[in-house]
Structure 1
Amino acid sequence: MDKNDCKYRKYIELLKKELVPAMGCTEPIAIAYGAARAREVLGGLPAHTKIAVSRNIVKNVKSVVIPNTNGLKGIDAAAAAGIVAGRADKELEVISAVPGDKKREIKEYLAANTIEVETQEGDLLFDIQIEMCKGEDQVKLRITRSHTNIVYIEKNGKVLLENSCEEAKEKEDGVDLLTVKDIVDFAECADLEELAAYIEPQIQCNYAIAQEGIRGTYGANIGKVLLNSQEDTVQNRAKAMAAAGSDARMSGCELPVVILTGSGNQGIAAAVPVIVYAEEMGSSREELIRAVAVSDLITIHQRSRIGKLSAYCGAVNAGCASGTGIAYLQGGRFPEIAHTIVNSLAVVSGMICDGAKPSCAAKIAVSVEAGILGYHMYLQGQEFRGGDGIVTKGVDETIYNVGQLGKDGMRETDKKIVDIMMGCVSKE
């Protein structure tokens, strides 16, 4: 791929856009960010706050620990953290630096003030609407489609910012140029330092939280379980370290993660297994950076067909993509990578997303296992062929099929998952 090609610049821009640091699970952090920004506009702590969120936000906030809150969970807690201690200028690191007295104040604020939460219906899977009042002053703020995309701010009836949801949708476009062959070509020719600017923070941050997950006690400790129950192989360490990063992150670990397609778990799953293999192989810095770029862009390629929020588990996309990064490290190029992704997606596509929580770590481990299996199948001359279930001829065509499954086919599944999680399903 020529560096003057529009595709080349687009791929660089995609990495720049998607690889951003975040402290904590991104949906509650988006609420904290919106609440912090609304408080700034209001000019003080609100006496009353009302938050309306789409059902998928409920799903991804309900069970995850919010960092720097002394173990709090929930939409109201995320909003309180942003109101009391948030710095909106830090965006997805809005509550990354909270002193001990502020942590106590978050809990006290929750007890003394009203934060109403309601679920809203509609076509938008990602929608957060916040209303705050203090005395005679009132602020309204809305975030749609992505975690920091504020589309509306109003104070005392005066509109300060307004972007239509359709304009927000257009900002998400630009992934239509992605193909697996072009991704491999791009990784081969991309300027190393330009790549490193976005990939190296991901390598450093996400491997650090994986190491912390192994050292500490978080969630169900899936990473430790894998290390203690299976043989000490590079394949098992790759699964375990990726899972450990999620163990820590889902349980409120106060370390940053570089997210991918809006998800810290996907940022971890796409990079950490590749890092483990690179360490085992003694790979160079350049080889690791280019291999992680392959994994990242193939994750983006898959998720762009599904969307950031779905009933389809994003760990599948990133875990399977990690197998392509491992293949690249070992000298694989388009044939190896294409077969790896098709083989792995044939195994784990359809795993549901039932929100952010400790079991995400186990789903990452299973998906990384599928990615590695997909590559090993190719090495041994084995493959799943077009017509085997949703697999069709051509890797991009198979990715398209999986996208249709995740975006359209699982729409009703998504609604049912949220109903179950909210206790809205009758046992009769």
Structure 2
Amino acid sequence: VNTVDVDDVRDVLAKQVAYNTAISDEGLHRIYGANIGITLLSVYGDDVKTRAKAAAAAGSDARMSGCEMPVVINSGSGNQGMTVSLPVIEYAKELCVTTDRLYRALCVSNLVAIHQKAKIGRLSAYCGAVSAAAGAGAGVTYLYGGGVEEISETITSTLANVSGIVCDGAKPSCAAKIASSVDAALLACYMTMQKRRFRPGEGIVKAGVEDTIDSVSRLAKDGMQVTDEEILKIMIDR
């Protein structure tokens, strides 16, 4: 991320910023689904932490309820594409960073999400918003000046918190799951900046971030096979 030639990624990241921001704005100004984004801003206020959650949720509000505006995806998913990008974009605005710095932070968030998803596989009962939000948290940590160690702690603390969220299809409640996942990622970011962390051996947390990611991937890919079957039965049981 620190050495990439930004011109090599500028086109795709510029589209991610433009397209995903546009559908988020649409979700914040019109009625879609349960309007999680609008609800967050109306209830919790207008600070950057709330805006980061609301922006990602609002994009999902619109997309899950029929809005045909384009989205730049991550790991095959529009919801994940919005989750990895919109919180980072909001923090970049708040911190008044350069476009170059924003694009590098988006490299962090996108690649962290892809790295996790590659180990989980294409389909799982594990909610992809969690891995995407962990990426977003890593991107925000980068914007605050965090390096590999701080980014690793942010990922670990996010996964230790919300890895139990299940996927039950694409529908309006995805926006709420995104908001919850981003909230966990921001908590992890602020924990890291205050030198607070979850310790190895506490639940699924391992000594290194890669081992923790492997633990979560095992949970998502193998442990949730039966969960996936039960969710499908529940969904078709009228």
TM-score normalized with structure 2 length: 0.98
Aligned partner of 1:287 in structure 2 is 101
Aligned partner of 2:21 in structure 1 is 207
Aligned with residue 363 of structure 1, among 160, 165, 177? 177
- Work out the CA distance in 1 between the residues paired with 2:30 and 2:124: 31
Aligned partner of 2:221 in structure 1 is 407
Aligned partner of 1:334 in structure 2 is 148
Aligned partner of 1:231 in structure 2 is 45
Q: Higher helix proportion, which one?
A: 2
- Displacement of 1:308 after TM fit? 2.0
Aligned partner of 2:85 in structure 1 is 271
- Work out the CA distance in 1 between the residues paired with 2:136 and 2:64: 20
- Work out the CA distance in 1 between the residues paired with 2:29 and 2:160: 34
Aligned with residue 391 of structure 1, among 205, 209, 229? 205
| Residues 169-201 of structure 1: CA deviation (Å, up to 9, x unaligned) | xxxxxxxxxxxxxxxxxx100011101122111
- Work out the CA distance in 2 between the residues paired with 1:415 and 1:196: 41
- Work out the CA distance in 2 between the residues paired with 1:233 and 1:320: 20
Aligned partner of 1:241 in structure 2 is 55
- Work out the CA distance in 2 between the residues paired with 1:270 and 1:262: 13
- Work out the CA distance in 2 between the residues paired with 1:254 and 1:411: 32
| Residues 126-173 of structure 1: CA deviation (Å, up to 9, x unaligned) | xxxxxxxxxxxxxxxxxxxxxxxxxxxxxxxxxxxxxxxxxxxxxxxx
Size of the aligned set, in residue pairs, is 238
- Work out the CA distance in 1 between the residues paired with 2:122 and 2:137: 21
Report sequence identity in percent: 53
| Residues 359-381 of structure 1: CA deviation (Å, up to 9, x unaligned) | 00000001111111111111112
- Work out the CA distance in 1 between the residues paired with 2:92 and 2:73: 21
- Work out the CA distance in 1 between the residues paired with 2:80 and 2:151: 19
- Displacement of 1:278 after TM fit? 0.6
Name structure 1 gaps, 5 residues minimum. 1-186
SS across alignment from 1:258: coil
Structure with the greater relative contact order (CA < 8 A, sep ≥ 6): 1 or 2?
2
- Displacement of 1:328 after TM fit? 0.7
- Work out the CA distance in 2 between the residues paired with 1:260 and 1:381: 30
Aligned with residue 7 of structure 2, among 190, 193, 200? 193
Aligned partner of 2:69 in structure 1 is 255
Name structure 2 gaps, 5 residues minimum. none
SS across alignment from 2:72: strand
- Displacement of 1:203 after TM fit? 1.1
- Work out the CA distance in 2 between the residues paired with 1:378 and 1:275: 20
Q: Does 1:324 align with 2:118?
A: no
SS across alignment from 2:116: helix
- Displacement of 1:335 after TM fit? 1.1
Task: Find runs of 4+ consecutive structure 1 residues off by over 2 angstroms.
Answer: none
- Work out the CA distance in 1 between the residues paired with 2:129 and 2:123: 12
Residues 112 and 134, structure 2, Cα contact 8 Å, conserved in 1:
no
Q: Higher strand proportion, which one?
A: 1
